[in-house]
Amino acid sequence: MSNSCSSLAKKGCLSAIPWTLILIIAYFIFLLVGAAVFRALERTNEEETQKELLWEELSFLKNYDCLDREAVARFMMFVLKASNNGIILHGNKTSPSNWDFNSAFFFSSTVITTIGYGHLSPSTMGGRIFCIFFALLGIPLNIITLNHVGVKLSNAFNRLSTFLNGKNLKERTVKIITAVFFAVSGVILFFFIPSIIFAVVEGWTYGEGVYYSFVTLSTIGFGDYVAGSNPDIDYVQIYRSMVGFWILFGMAWLAGVFNTLIAIFEKNEKKMTEKFENAESLKEENAPTESNKDAE
């Protein structure tokens, strides 16, 4: 009995270690490939921008030699500081207030969803302290809420599955139809339609709208595109609040998609583990036979 238990434990270790090692190696290879591709795509543009910035600075100082170089540098630092606080200068206007109620609601949604665009952050000590406690309470609440909404969405699609099962369709066909309907309806509601709205309201291209939608709902949140931050646009009063609601419901749907992908991945992992265990079991069963042949 003890021998069989130790044999099972040994097979479990043998099956777990290679798969874990493969997963870790694949994880780092994925990161390395991503780093290499991003470097190849972005490095040249960065270098050109750096050269252009230095050239523009030299040209500006040459054309306006009456200006004090240190004074210009101080002004540039002040503009940069204002930009880091979410205030951008366009012509003789600054960006819309980031701390009216609708804008503050939008910021609050980016905090508890951990998107954190980086274009805006509290600049007062009181705001920073409150942000810490707000995030400590809000992030778990957001996770619970998104999971609950995700379950409700799953229940809705389960009812669709039940309806289709009543039509005497094959189980595989029902799963495919339900999955396709779930994916397509989500893409339309949370990517296709919002991207059109962003393109119209913000003046972006449709591709930029899709990019912003995915970067936002996946909580990557680079901050290179932020809805409702262009000072040249007179936004509807509740625009930013509506974007906040879109983020919350869109994340719930995307979380459901990611959970489905994870479930598929774990199912394949289980199959691979079972195959490995079966191979190890057959190997151990054949081992005595091979030794007996050698003895003969």
In a domain, 6, yes or no: no
Does residue 46 lie within any of the structural domains?
no
Residue 241 maps to a domain: yes
Number of structural domains the chain divides into: 1
- Using DSSP's 3-state secondary structure scheme, residue 217 falls into helix
CATH number at residue 291: 1.10.287.70
Q: Which domain holds residue 159?
A: 99-295
CA separation for the pair 280, 282 (Å, rounded): 5
- Establish if 9 belongs to a structural domain: no
Widest pairwise Cα distance in the chain: 103
Structure tokens at 165: 């099962």
Whether 125 is covered by a domain: the verdict is yes
In a domain, 173, yes or no: yes
List the structure tokens of 2: 């003890």
- CA 197 – CA 208 distance, rounded (Å): 12
Rounded to the nearest 5 degrees, what angle is found at the Cα of 57, between the Cα atoms of 56 and 60? 80
Rounded to the nearest 10 degrees, what angle do helices 193-202 and 239-295 cross at? 140
Residue 52 is assigned to a structural domain of this protein: no
pLDDT in tens, the chain (296 residues): 545 445 544 444 545 456 667 767 876 787 788 788 878 888 888 788 878 877 887 888 788 878 777 887 888 888 777 776 667 666 656 666 778 888 888 889 888 999 888 777 887 898 989 999 999 999 999 888 887 777 777 777 778 778 887 877 787 787 788 888 888 988 999 999 999 999 999 999 999 999 999 999 988 888 889 998 887 788 888 898 899 889 988 988 877 777 776 766 777 777 777 777 777 777 777 765 555 555 55
Task: Tell me, yes or no, whether 178 lies in a domain.
Answer: yes
In DSSP terms, which residues pair with 209 in a beta bridge?
none
For 224, the token pair is 């290179």
**From CA 96, how far away is CA 88, in angstroms rounded?**
9
Which string of DSSP letters, residue by residue, matches 107-175? Answer: HHHHHHTT---SS----SHHHHHHHHHHHHHHHHHHHHHHHHHHHHHHHHHHHHHHHHHTTT--HHHHH
Q: How many residues does the chain have?
A: 296
